[in-house]
Structure 1
Amino acid sequence: MLTLNIIGPGRLGKSIARLATPHYQIAGVCASSLASSTDAVAFIGAGQACATLADLPAADLFLLAVPDAMIADKAVELAASSVVKAGNVVFHASGASEASLLLPLKAAGASIASLHPAFSFADPERAVSTFADTLCALEGDAKACDVLYDFAQALGGKPFYLAEGGKAAYHASLTMAANFLVTLADLSIKTAVQAGISDEIARLLINNLMQQTLGNIKKLGPAAALTGPIVRGDQVTVDKHLNVLSDISSRRCYQSLGLATINLAGEKLSDVQQRALWQKLS
């Protein structure tokens, strides 16, 4: 059984560790203090609580589950501790940063990679019980990625590989799909309230429509799921929308997404319709 050290046992780190326990031996757990390490070990149900990186026992895998801004410095510190040996796999779980942040560990003979689960670890207890089938993005050294492919599957995840240099595009896509969806919901609800609808009904109206649309996207794909005035070439309705959107954020969002929607509609619009809509939305 391969052994795993956890550095930075926050919500993600200790969730991953507990998911790994049936298939991997948790060797050491190192947090910012011995007390925090001990608390994490209690949650994980395995491992040795460590006060410093130098106290970590030998292990096959090392997970740096620290905040993104700390990964590079922690990699230097870990390399200086001489705990990592040739043949070890060291990885982080950042969605935006690449495995190259761990380059100091390569000098020790380790293979480096990143493994990012597309999942929210807001509540570790819930994360452990609902993680199954989570997509996990891998990039880095081929050897490390092969080891982590098996690791992700053991957690119950579904691993896949990113192209070299593809981490930024991957993370941007998640930001648009998750964070911007929340922003879009907020702007939509505020615009619905502008029509004299109560906040409660506006939330229900927008949430239901978004859920239905997401179901259509999943079943049909974005192009086939597209409906509304832009794909119909309905310039009159688009004009009405623009005139009523007095809030600058909502108006700019409508214009930017409208231009992207023209591209998505493609051949469903004539050249004349595309040019007319483009002028209105630019």
Structure 2
Amino acid sequence: MRATDAETPAASLNLIGAGHVGRVLGRLFAQHGAFALQQVLTRSVDSARQAVAFIGAGQVASAYDQLLPAAVHLLAVGDDQIVAASEALARAVPLRDSVVFHCSGALASDRLQAARDAGALVASVHPVRSFADPAAVAAQFAGTFCGVEGDAGALAVLTPALQAIGAQPVPIDAAAKTVYHAAAVFASNYLVTVLDAALRAYQAAGIPEPVARQLAQPLASESMANVFRLGAAAALSGPIARGDMATVARQQQAVSQWDPDTGALYQSLVAPTTDLARRKQRK
């Protein structure tokens, strides 16, 4: 879908919803000639104008009935708005043989059933990174992994467009989309929760919080580096990896006495860590 010469124009793209993700993808698709941005529709005309200014291309649409037909429609809306946006789009413009996709990490392309019923090919594309600073992300997007799933015809259009902007598309199982998104929660959000427990436990032992962070950082950093270098099983160390369950039991009791909620967290991690230790022994 990337324009290669004057006789091969880029396919037209309508952008519905222009938060951080929509703005970044809109700018990159337009800059790299992957798609020709046609119209931008958001909840307000002002936000659509701001998005067009950020992207550097496209025209403002103030309502679905102002949208023109396009080869591709990107629904960069909140998860709770995807179904409604798909239905509104299907009512407003002809979708037969077009591509409609959304960017949710938690929801699959089946949420676009209204567009599919109208003849569109549907997909989802989830860029695996934070979009807190859109300008910085747009400038450093190359190499970003994107989880993709959906109709084969839609992915045949979207995959080269994503590659044109420097993304690395990774096919995922649509039936496991929620589990896929939970993986990011484990790798990011829950990791922070576990580290918070470590910092609070250090402080319970009388260590000031700034010093606690200094103590935890090399342990956490080296463990993470080993996981990504060697794999999780090989990186595991500590009492469970050594089979020292007596120490684990003492720690469980002590942590529970100090803070019952943190004790419950500790206990919940014993079984999966024991299973990980078994995998390490088998290698």
Asked whether the two chains share a fold, i.e. TM above 0.5, the reply is yes
Task: State whether structure 2 residue 254 is matched by structure 1 residue 244.
Answer: yes
For the residues of structure 2 that align with 1:211 and 1:178, how far apart are their CA atoms? 14
The answer to whether the 8 A contact 1:232-1:269 is kept is no
Please give the secondary structure, in 2, of the residue aligned with 1:40.
Answer: helix
Residue aligning to 1:5? 14
- TM-score normalised by L of structure 2: 0.90
For the residues of structure 1 that align with 2:272 and 2:168, how far apart are their CA atoms? 31
For the residues of structure 1 that align with 2:26 and 2:279, how far apart are their CA atoms? 50
The answer to whether the 8 A contact 1:84-1:105 is kept is no
CA RMSD of aligned residues (A): 1.6
Which runs of 5 or more structure 1 residues have no equivalent in the other structure?
271-282
For the residues of structure 2 that align with 1:120 and 1:100, how far apart are their CA atoms? 24
Tell which deviates more after alignment, 89-98 or 244-253. 244-253
Give percent identity, aligned residues only.
40
* Count of matched residue pairs: 269
Shift of the alpha carbon at 1:249? 2.3
Residue aligning to 1:30? 41
The answer to whether the 8 A contact 2:233-2:280 is kept is no
Shift of the alpha carbon at 1:235? 2.5
Shift of the alpha carbon at 1:188? 1.2
Residue aligning to 1:253? 265
Please give the secondary structure, in 1, of the residue aligned with 2:175.
Answer: coil
Task: State whether structure 2 residue 143 is matched by structure 1 residue 139.
Answer: no
For the residues of structure 2 that align with 1:96 and 1:29, how far apart are their CA atoms? 24
- TM-score normalised by L of structure 1: 0.91
The answer to whether the 8 A contact 1:119-1:131 is kept is no
For the residues of structure 2 that align with 1:231 and 1:131, how far apart are their CA atoms? 39
Shift of the alpha carbon at 1:256? 1.4
Query: What pairs with 1:167-182 in structure 2 (closer than 5 Å)?
Result: 167-182=177-192
Equivalent residue in structure 2 for 1:166, among 173, 176, 179:
176
Shift of the alpha carbon at 1:163? 2.1
Q: Deviations over 1:181-209 (max 9, x none)?
A: 11111111111111111111112322332
Q: Per the alignment, do residues 76 and 113 of structure 1 end up closer, same or farther by CA in structure 2, a change over 3 Å counting?
A: same
Question: Which AA in structure 1 matches 2:46?
Answer: A
Which runs of 5 or more structure 2 residues have no equivalent in the other structure?
1-9
Tell which deviates more after alignment, 47-56 or 202-211. 202-211
Tell which deviates more after alignment, 246-255 or 220-229. 246-255
Tell which deviates more after alignment, 69-78 or 147-156. 147-156
Q: Per the alignment, do residues 136 and 267 of structure 1 end up closer, same or farther by CA in structure 2, a change over 3 Å counting?
A: closer
The answer to whether the 8 A contact 1:12-1:65 is kept is yes
Q: Deviations over 1:43-90 (max 9, x none)?
A: 111111111122223321111011000111111111111x24311100
Question: Which AA in structure 1 matches 2:73?
Answer: F
Residue aligning to 2:140? 130
Shift of the alpha carbon at 1:99? 0.6
Shift of the alpha carbon at 1:152? 1.8
Question: Which AA in structure 2 matches 1:192?
Answer: Y
Equivalent residue in structure 2 for 1:234, among 229, 237, 244:
244
Query: What pairs with 1:191-270 in structure 2 (closer than 5 Å)?
Result: 191-245=201-255, 246-266=258-278
Shift of the alpha carbon at 1:268? 5.8
Q: Per the alignment, do residues 267 and 123 of structure 1 end up closer, same or farther by CA in structure 2, a change over 3 Å counting?
A: closer
Question: Which AA in structure 2 matches 1:6?
Answer: L
Shift of the alpha carbon at 1:113? 0.7
